[in-house]
């Protein structure tokens, strides 16, 4: 009987070991494949958008995943995602990482894991100049935003009488504003500033100083991929320390960019 128990325990141990060895984690898969597949936006100016000259997707989010791919010694492969499609694409395993203006929320963290915060902003509105002095001026109005965003949830909460119209992306919401189909567009200030910066008749619009939420961005990784999360977090901290993270910020949003933003005291910090 004793011998049987010993053999059984040994069998369970060996089987467990084989299982662990066979079940490759995502980090191994990426290295073997020789490419990191990142889900990025392709129509969010400043973060992930198509460069008119090169026809390549570029932006703040793209530079962060490029730095991670370089650190891994693999190529970077980009897959366009929308606010609504990014989590399903990750959960289904079609992408390794989300780098798509994605806010870390407790609700999303039930389904996926997040890196440390690598960008920080807050939700505001674009409106026709002089039409909005306070939040009350927006209630009961038609407000445009993107499907699957925290922006649509926050707006519904802050403006219970408003009609929220959700589009596939923010340029479509801006177009609706320009066509008079919505009264305001709402999402993160960082996105609004860049969107407006590129708009042809931008002098007719403004972003009033009305903020309804904080939006810390994290890189999204499938649940249970501790190796990849640790690697990404380690790389983010190194990028902060070396000054690369600030350099990427300045490249897209610094004083010389068309729409400067404040990095303020923001720093990529362990645990946050
Ligand atoms: N950061 C917000 C979010 O994660 C709004 C921007 C977006 O739709 O990506 O939902």
pLDDT in tens, 241-268: 999 999 999 999 998 887 889 898 899 9
Ligand 1 within 6 A of CB of 87: no
98 plus 136 within the same structural domain: no
- The predicted pLDDT at position 264 comes to 86
Query: Which of 41, 44, 61, 83 has most ligand 1 atoms within 8 Å of CB, for mutation?
Result: 83
111 plus 49 within the same structural domain: yes
18 confidence band (pLDDT: 50, 70, 90): very low
Count of CB atoms situated within 10 Å of the CB of 221 = 24
pLDDT > 70: percent of the chain: 92
Q: What residue numbers bound the domain in which 106 lies?
A: 25-120+216-253
What average pLDDT does this structure show over 157-167?
97
39 plus 155 within the same structural domain: no
pLDDT at 203 over 50: yes
Three-state SS at 103: strand
Q: Residue 154 falls within a domain, yes or no?
A: yes
Sheet holding 75-80, edge to edge: 75-80, 35-40, 97-99, 220-222, 112-114
- The average confidence (pLDDT) of the chain is 92
- The predicted pLDDT at position 47 comes to 97
Q: What are phi and psi of 222, to 5 degrees?
A: -60, 145
137 plus 205 within the same structural domain: yes
39 plus 70 within the same structural domain: yes
pLDDT in tens, 33-71: 999 999 999 999 999 999 999 999 999 999 999 999 999
pLDDT at 23 over 80: no
Output the pTM of the full model. Answer: 0.90
184 plus 237 within the same structural domain: no
Q: Residue 10 falls within a domain, yes or no?
A: no
Q: Residue 168 falls within a domain, yes or no?
A: yes
pLDDT at 84 over 50: yes
Ligand 1 within 6 A of CB of 117: no
User: What CATH number is attached to the domain comprising 146?
Assistant: 3.40.190.10
- The predicted pLDDT at position 141 comes to 98
- Quickly tell me which residue has 């962060």 as its tokens: 64
208 plus 225 within the same structural domain: no
pLDDT at 8 over 90: no
**Domain count for the chain:** 2
């Amino acid at each position: 009987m004793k011998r049987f128990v010993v053999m059984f325990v040994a069998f369970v141990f060996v089987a467990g070991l084989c299982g662990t060895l066979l079940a490759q984690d995502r980090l191994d898969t990426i290295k073997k494949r020789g490419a990191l597949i990142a889900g990025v936006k392709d129509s969010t100016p400043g973060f992930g958008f198509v460069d008119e000259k090169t026809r390549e997707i570029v932006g703040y989010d793209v530079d962060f995943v490029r730095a991670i791919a370089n650190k891994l010694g693999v190529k970077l492969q980009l897959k366009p995602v929308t606010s609504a499609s990014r989590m399903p694409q990750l959960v289904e395993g079609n992408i390794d990482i989300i780098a798509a203006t994605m806010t870390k929320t407790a609700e999303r963290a039930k389904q996926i894991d997040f890196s440390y915060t690598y960008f920080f902003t807050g939700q505001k509105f674009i409106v026709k100049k002089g039409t909005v002095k306070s939040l009350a001026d927006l209630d009961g109005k038609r407000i445009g935003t993107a499907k699957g965003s925290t922006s649509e949830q926050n707006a519904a909460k802050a403006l219970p009488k408003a009609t929220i119209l959700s589009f596939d992306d923010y340029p479509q919401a801006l177009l609706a504003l320009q066509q008079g189909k919505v009264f305001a567009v709402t999402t993160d200030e960082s996105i609004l500033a860049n969107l407006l910066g590129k708009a042809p008749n931008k002098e007719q619009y403004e972003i009033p100083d009305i903020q309804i939420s904080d939006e810390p961005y994290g890189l999204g990784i499938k649940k249970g991929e501790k190796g990849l999360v640790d690697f990404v977090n380690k790389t983010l901290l190194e990028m902060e320390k070396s000054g690369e993270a600030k350099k990427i910020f300045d490249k897209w949003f610094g004083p010389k960019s068309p729409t400067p933003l404040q990095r303020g005291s923001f720093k990529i910090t362990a645990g946050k």
